[in-house]
Amino acid sequence: MTEKPRAADPVESGSTPGGSATAEEQPRVVIRDNRKISKSEVPAAADAGADTPAEGLVEDAEIVVDEIEVEAASVDGPPVVDAPAQPVEGAAPPAGPPLGAELEALRADLDERTRDLQRVTAEYANYRKRVDRDRSLVQEQATGSVLAALLPILDDLDRAREHGDLVGPFGTVAEQLTTALGKFGLSAFGEQGDPFDPTRHEAVAHQRSADVTEPTCVQVMRRGYQLGERLLRPAMVAVADPE
């Protein structure tokens, strides 16, 4: 009878003859045969240490063909973790934009933003001044319009005062009105003997006199009024010129 080979023992690859694996052990390949053989096919002369199956039973000698089990070699010690790369002393730094150029760009940007802020600040200051000036001008014009409408009443009070009619309660009311209008900045000018000023006086008559050394107002027909520095109405006067 032809002798059939037994199930192949696992063959370990990468072992040393002494049975100890090196630190760099290669993967181990195990091959098993799954073919089934009967008792009649078992060789008569079995190894002395081999167990013979009972009669009538079929022994499966599994031989895995084309099935490979690979076991990774084990290495004693903890897993190796790659450490971060350390800069080498004396090595050149990573390539990048020069630091001086970056600083110059930041400085130029800062200068531009500073100029923009100064320009906006100056424009806002000018705007505030212009608004305040326009507001004051509008307020002065409105007040001047109201006071100019009351000037004929003040002229009547002046004529009544010249004739001595401002007495008693009527005189008190006239004084209160004059004081109240003065709080808004209204002031009267044009008195007899004042030097003639063409910008403030309106000359309606001229005469020669040896008593004056310069053009002088010798008669005031109607007093003038001004609101602060603004002229509301010039004074109507008669002027005497020196001979």
DSSP 128-176: HHHHHHHHHHHHHHHHHHHHHHHHHHHHHHHHHHHTT---HHHHHHHHH
Per-residue pLDDT, 117: 95
If pLDDT is split at 50, 70 and 90, which confidence band does 41 have?
A: very low
Q: Mean of the pLDDT values across residues 84-108?
A: 70
| Res 43 pLDDT > 80 | no
Single-letter residue type at 142:
A
**Cut 0.75: pTM above it:** no
Q: Which residues pair with 203 in a beta bridge?
A: 237
Domains of the chain: residue spans and CATH: 27-41+58-73 (no CATH), 185-243 (2.30.22.10)
**Which is higher by pLDDT, 92 or 161?**
161
Looking at residue 229, what DSSP letter applies? T
If pLDDT is split at 50, 70 and 90, which confidence band does 167 have?
A: confident
If pLDDT is split at 50, 70 and 90, which confidence band does 163 have?
A: confident
For 115, residues 6+ apart whose C-beta sits below 8 A from its C-beta are: none
**Which is higher by pLDDT, 64 or 121?**
121
